[in-house]
Amino acid sequence: MDLAQRDHNVIWHPYTQMKTAALPIPIVRGEGALLFAEDGTTYIDAVASWWVNLHGHAHPHIAQRVAEQLNTLEHVIFAGFTHPAAVELAERLIQILPQNQKRAFYSDNGSTAVEVAIKMAIQYWNNVGEPKRKIIALRDSYHGDTFGAMAVSSRSTFTAPFWSYLFDVKFIDVPVPGEEEESIKQLEAIAIAGGAAAFIFEPLVLGTAGMVMYTPEVLDRLMGICQKYNILTIADEVMTGFGRTGRTFASHYLQHQPDIMCFSKGLTGGTMALGLTTCSNQMYEAFLHHDKSKTFFHGHSYTGNPIACAAGLASLDLLLKEETQQSINRIVEQHTQFAEKVKQLQYVKETRQQGTILAVEFEAGGTSYFSNLRDTLYNFALQQGVLLRPLGNIIYIIPPYCITNEQLQQVYQTILGMHGLVEEAQ
């Protein structure tokens, strides 16, 4: 029996309707931006394997650092003990994060990084003796799939069975260009009403919503309101972190500094699962007390895993290299040129770009129309040797930084071909 069939007999895949899904494609090797399938087909990984991969697959520098770590220390309990990789990674990140970020709390993935952030914010207000209950979020946001993360995420069909179990969240509209004032008004009204503990947001780009983008200027205004009304700000940089937006962190575009930040995805260059929540000294100090009930009682078995931290260090070495910064700038330029071109096409409603992230939104002729077309477009891209996962009528590219110009051209050509299919389907 081949691998796909064996998989089909025992595995339940994420975000997959197992009744109708095609058999999964067995991948046996990766190198640079390419994935090699068992049958010899290659795919350009234009979505960085769910937005995690920064420097290409099986990168030798990361592989070597991880191998060394495996042969030295694979794991150690992270309460009462520590190890060099966790300390060095935190030190190096704190140097490049917004200046107020002074403490690093490790976990396992993006959702746990968000859980930690929300729990920190709520307990902060308890610890300082001013309990506040409300959490504010952007209406179409995505912060993960665990319960707390789902609660602060959009109330979509994905989470519908759980709605009644999710804590109450005050949602404000995403301040997309032209609709900034409405969001500002909504946030102000909630702030004035009082009792708001924190505002959580995906800075500049809402990924799962369809790479929906808004400006640093309006985010600064929202953060200014939070500051004025003593509402903590939580920047979820799980997707935007580590160069994606053109700067190392999306928060580097802002005047204000968030109180808490969340990271995962690119944190290890896409090699290991690792989550990180960082915070300011003001946050941290509210947990220092002789009274043990003020402790942050949260942790995971694999907190601060040395192999994951080693991958993080190796990825950071690569990210900060001049060569990588040049690649990021190159991708930004190529995207901009392609966006200019594709924008002219009849069935392209809009293009959006923030750094290395490019979204092309096709005209949607009704939702059912696009739910079928989505699969056609996905399969068409695979036939062209390109991995692109459309979000409905939105196609996006979020490539590893090592992708070559030739590979980018192949991805762009595939998107032009998709436009042809959209046209035919009219």
Ligand X SMILES: *Cc1c(COP(=O)(O)O)cnc(C)c1O
Annotated catalytic sites, by residue? 15, 142, 236, 265
Q: Is 115 in the site for ligand X (CB under 6 A)?
A: no
Residues in the chain, overall count = 426
Among 53, 69, 101, 111, binds ligand X (CB under 6 A): 111
What residues from 182 to 211 belong to the interface with ligand X (CB under 6 A)?
202, 207
- Give DSSP secondary structure letters for 344-388: TSTTEEEEEEETTEEEEEEPPS-HHHHHHHHHHHHHHHHHTTEE-
CB of 106: closest distance to ligand X in angstroms? Answer: 13
Q: Is 266 in the site for ligand X (CB under 6 A)?
A: no
Among 69, 101, 107, 109, binds ligand X (CB under 6 A): 109
Query: Contact letters (x/-) for ligand X, 134-153, by CB under 6 A?
Result: --------xxx---------
Among 212, 238, 250, 332, binds ligand X (CB under 6 A): 238
Q: Is 214 in the site for ligand X (CB under 6 A)?
A: no
Please report the beta strands in 163-227, taking only residues with DSSP state E, as ranges in sequence order. 170-172, 196-201, 205-206, 212-213
Among 107, 183, 264, 356, binds ligand X (CB under 6 A): 264
299 is in an annotated binding site: yes
Bridge-based pairing of strands 348-354 and 42-45 is unpaired
**Pick from 145, 142, 114, 113: which is nearest to 14 by CA?**
145
Report residue 310 as tokens. Answer: 């080693």
Report residue 99 as tokens. Answer: 């200046």
What residues from 365 to 394 belong to the interface with ligand X (CB under 6 A)?
none
CB of 68: closest distance to ligand X in angstroms? Answer: 25
Lookup result for tokens 């490539």: 399
Residue type at 45 in one-letter notation: D
Bridge-based pairing of strands 232-236 and 196-201 is parallel
**112-135 burial code (b ≥16 CB/10 A, e <16):** bbbbbbbebbbbbbebeeeebebb
CA distance 238 to 94: 16
Q: Is 59 in the site for ligand X (CB under 6 A)?
A: no
Nearer to ligand X, 144 or 243 (CB): 144
Query: Is the separation of the CB atoms in 406 and 380 below 8 Å?
Result: no
- Give the interface segment with ligand X, choosing from 103-111, 304-312, 331-339, 414-422 (CB under 6 A): 103-111
Q: Is 154 in the site for ligand X (CB under 6 A)?
A: no
Q: Is 414 in the site for ligand X (CB under 6 A)?
A: no
Residue whose Cβ sits closest to ligand X = 110
Positions that interact with ligand X (CB under 6 A): 109-111, 114, 142-144, 202, 207, 236, 238-239, 264
Could you list the residues known to form a binding site for pyridoxal 5'-phosphate, using ranges: 110-111, 236, 300-301
